[in-house]
Amino acid sequence: MSFYSTVVLITIVLSIIMIVHINNSNIVTENARKGFCISFTIIIFVSFLEWLTYFADGKPLFPIWLHTLFSAIEFSIAPSLVVLWVYAIGNIKHSRIVIMFLLLHALIEFSSIWTGAIYYIDEGNHYCRGEYYFIYIICYTTAIAVMFFEAYYFSRKYQNRNLSSLIAAFSSLFIGIVANTMDGDVKTAWLSVTTCCVLFYIYYIELVVQSDGLTGLLNRRSYENHLANLNYRTAVIIFDIDKFKSVNDTYGHAYGDTVLKKISKAIIRCYLSRGLCYRIGGDEFCVILNKNSFHSESTVIKLNKRFNALLDELRRKEPSLPTVSVGYEIFNTENEVADIIHNADTMMYTNKNSNR
């Protein structure tokens, strides 16, 4: 077996393993399951097509028209695949523009069957790059850029956690594509696409397991992990919704969920630029300020005033929205985390009693 055949086999086997894993996962959404499974299925199909065209190259018995058609399919699908990953995580914006762009690209690639502009198969059944091959590179690069920015926007929803995984995914894709572009005999494109897809899936899963399903804030597990590794001076801010049980009893649990979402959005709006935001209990939240965002206690006081002012504004529009009690404590590396949380809770409950 040749080296290239081994690479294709690894690509296909890895894709099959991922399809089985994704279908057996209870974590991914149905949209993500469909998107990633379709992606890996396409990778299997196109990798096999490329393998066929590689060994058909220069072989007179293999029909030139079929060689050309297989090349057109491969070129058309490649940019569409990376955009499909963004669809899998449910974050694609301006979908009509993206779809029109991909359809136009596919039309250009298939037109090359007759024009030879992007690629052509010569009389000896050899694959050759056309004069306008750079159009394919531009389209592919544009699709990758769209994917990166959409994925980055998606990561903001999860407070930009695990960006290293996203960067690793794109790096593997970039290296493989560049190597294949510089030397057509280096068949690394689809292996790098597969690697990128696997890393992107891992990135997606890492974000999902760290988040609270209702509010989108980071969950209790992330909060506890952060506290366990806290090694810099900062502030820990605790929030608790006042009379939340009464809200559920009076307006129903559906409205209670709406309240949790609105309070979460207010916390995100006021604190996200300065720290990480968590839902740590039913109606309890926490913010831990970033290392470079905390300067003194006045920083916390200003942020809390901004948060309370925003809640007052929201309650003027929606009087049924409950108040929120806030407490905080300054953490220094010589402090015990448990003491800091206790002190923040004590301040929060003192404020809660004054709100009654």
pLDDT tens for 40-78 read: 998 999 899 888 888 888 888 888 888 888 888 888 888
- Residue pair 289/275 in contact (Cβ under 8 Å)? The answer is yes
Q: What pLDDT is attached to residue 355?
A: 65
Residue with tokens 């409205």: 255
Q: What pLDDT is attached to residue 95?
A: 66
Q: Please state whether beta strands 234-241 and 284-289 pair in parallel, antiparallel, or not at all (unpaired).
A: antiparallel
Q: What pLDDT is attached to residue 88?
A: 74
Cβ neighbours of residue 133 closer than 8 Å, sequence gap 6 or more? 118, 119
Token representation of residue 180? 């294949």
Residue 96 has pLDDT above 80, yes or no: no
Q: What pLDDT is attached to residue 1?
A: 63
Among 53-62, 162-171, 246-255, which stretch is predicted with the lowest mean pLDDT? 162-171
Nearest-10 Cα torsion for 356, 341, 334, 304: -50
* Alpha helices by DSSP H, 183-278: 189-209, 220-228, 244-251, 253-271
Q: What pLDDT is attached to residue 92?
A: 59
Q: What is the DSSP letter of 211?
A: B
Q: What pLDDT is attached to residue 94?
A: 60
Q: What burial letters (b/e) apply to 309-318, b meaning 16+ CB within 10 Å?
A: eebeeeeeee
- Residue pair 322/241 in contact (Cβ under 8 Å)? The answer is yes
Model confidence band, residue 285 (pLDDT cutoffs 50, 70, 90): very high
Does this model's pTM top 0.85? My answer is no
Q: What pLDDT is attached to residue 261?
A: 93
